Amino acid sequence: MSDSNDNVGIVIVSHSPDVARGVADMVAQMVGIEVKVAWCGGNVDGGLGTHVPAILEAIDKAWTPRGVAILVDLGGAQTNAEMAIEMLAEDRQGLVVVCEAPIVEGAIFAATEAAGGADLAAVRAEAEALRAP
Amino acid sequence: MTDTASTPLSTDALKAAVRAMAVAIIDHTEELSRLDQAIGDGDHGLNMKRGFEAILAKLDGSADAPPALLKSIGTTLVMTVGGASGPLYGSLALAMGKALGDQPLTLACAADLLDAGIQSVMSRGRSQAGEKTMLDTLVPVLAVVRAGGADLGDRVKAAAAAGAAATVPLRASKGRASFLGERSIGHMDPGARSSQLLIEALCDALSKDPAP
């Protein structure tokens, strides 16, 4: 079994903490401890929403030298995730990507690919291949 | 507005204007949320209120000059507002601060600052005017500021109001409102309305305090 630091990490960003946690659980069931998975969801007041500080924290938790792939649900999650990437230290910015993919299936496909040791571009491509034509 | 295009705006005058903008948003929390409930997820009012309350809390003790103040405002909006509007309004302020750099803040550079801010919003939101967003308020305002001339404050406010009103018949093609398709028609875009409120408050504050 490879060490989780050898594989791309996965971050789940949903407007709902329940959705984010649930997706992370489903991912963990597939890849166990081979892939670092972190999630965040909800706004600062505990309501539905997404916000940058929580995304930064999740990226930090899932960080590996191979990079991090982020899966998001709706528009604000994507905008906030992209903003968070811009706020990372410069040497990390190029190693974190937002996948344009359905959050549940995308996270599972991305994590499965990551568990096999694929690089960040391949992990993202695997998730994004799920997009509706 | 300042008497001449090249009279620098003092840090205190900028802070007073920011305070007025924050009050305008906070006073219209319910209206913004109501507009967002019609075509979005209903959190625009509370999100913006949270962000501008955070700005107010930092403003009094701040000794920042205008570029640093704009950067601090942008960062605060990014970190506290959430939704798509946090990164969008945050990017607007951050880009304006960056464009200002070491120049004095004057009316003469206002169009360039707003232009830089708008470019940043377009890039962050992958959007342009005509898509039922805050850009429908900001882009026509930029044209008026760029042209300059007499009674600028009143004409800027009129352009902002017309821009926000013009989003009512538009069909949304960006953000959550786009999920509604045709049903997004007939509602004012909450982001266009919050931009109008901010611009009105800014113009009123600057016309009240013409002294540098």
Residue-wise pLDDT tens digits, B102-135 = 999 999 999 999 999 999 999 999 999 999 999 9
Q: Return the active site residues of A.
A: 15
Give the per-residue pLDDT at B63: 85
Residues in chain B closer than 8 A to A44 (CB atoms): 50, 80, 82
Contact B79 A52 (CB under 8 A): yes
- Report the range of poorest mean pLDDT among A60-69, B20-29, B59-68: B59-68
Q: What is the pLDDT of residues A25-37, one digit of tens each?
A: 999 999 989 999 9
- Shortest alpha-carbon distance between residue B132 and chain A (Å): 15
Q: What is the pLDDT of residues B194-210, one digit of tens each?
A: 999 999 999 999 998 55
Q: What is the pLDDT of residues B146-172, one digit of tens each?
A: 999 999 999 999 999 999 999 999 999
Contact B82 A44 (CB under 8 A): yes
Tell me how far apart the alpha carbons of residues B24 and B94 are, in angstroms, rounded to a whole number: 21
Tell me how far apart the alpha carbons of residues A3 and B49 are, in angstroms, rounded to a whole number: 45
Tell me how far apart the alpha carbons of residues B132 and B171 are, in angstroms, rounded to a whole number: 7
Residue-range definition of the domain harbouring residue B71:
11-206
Mean pLDDT of B185-189: 96
* Sole residue written with tokens 């004057």: B106
Q: Which helix (H) or strand (E) holds A70?
A: strand A68-72
Percent of chain B whose predicted confidence (pLDDT) is above 90? 87
Is B88 inside any structural domain? yes
Mean pLDDT of chain B: 94
What CATH class is the domain A4-128? alpha beta
165-184 in chain B: CB under 8 A from chain A? 174-176
Q: How does residue B211 score in pLDDT terms, banded at 50, 70 and 90?
A: very low
Tell me how far apart the alpha carbons of residues A113 and A111 are, in angstroms, rounded to a whole number: 5
What ipTM was predicted for this assembly?
A: 0.84
Residues in chain A closer than 8 A to B83 (CB atoms): 43, 49-50, 76, 80
Helix, strand, coil % over all residues of chain A, rounded to 5: 50, 15, 35
Tell me how far apart the alpha carbons of residues A49 and A77 are, in angstroms, rounded to a whole number: 8
For the entire predicted model, the pTM comes to: 0.91
Q: What is the pLDDT of residues B32-48, one digit of tens each?
A: 999 999 999 999 999 99
Tell me how far apart the alpha carbons of residues B126 and B55 are, in angstroms, rounded to a whole number: 26
Option in B41, B47, B84 nearest A79 (CB): B84
pLDDT reading at A52 higher than 80: yes
- Number of domains observed in the structure of chain B: 1
* Angle made by CA atoms A18, B81, B33, in degrees to the nearest 5: 85
Q: What is the pLDDT of residues A34-48, one digit of tens each?
A: 999 999 999 988 899
Is B146 inside any structural domain? yes
Is B4 inside any structural domain? no
pLDDT reading at A2 higher than 90: no
Give the CATH number for residue B180: 1.25.40.340
Q: How does residue B15 score in pLDDT terms, banded at 50, 70 and 90?
A: very high
Tell me how far apart the alpha carbons of residues B97 and B14 are, in angstroms, rounded to a whole number: 12
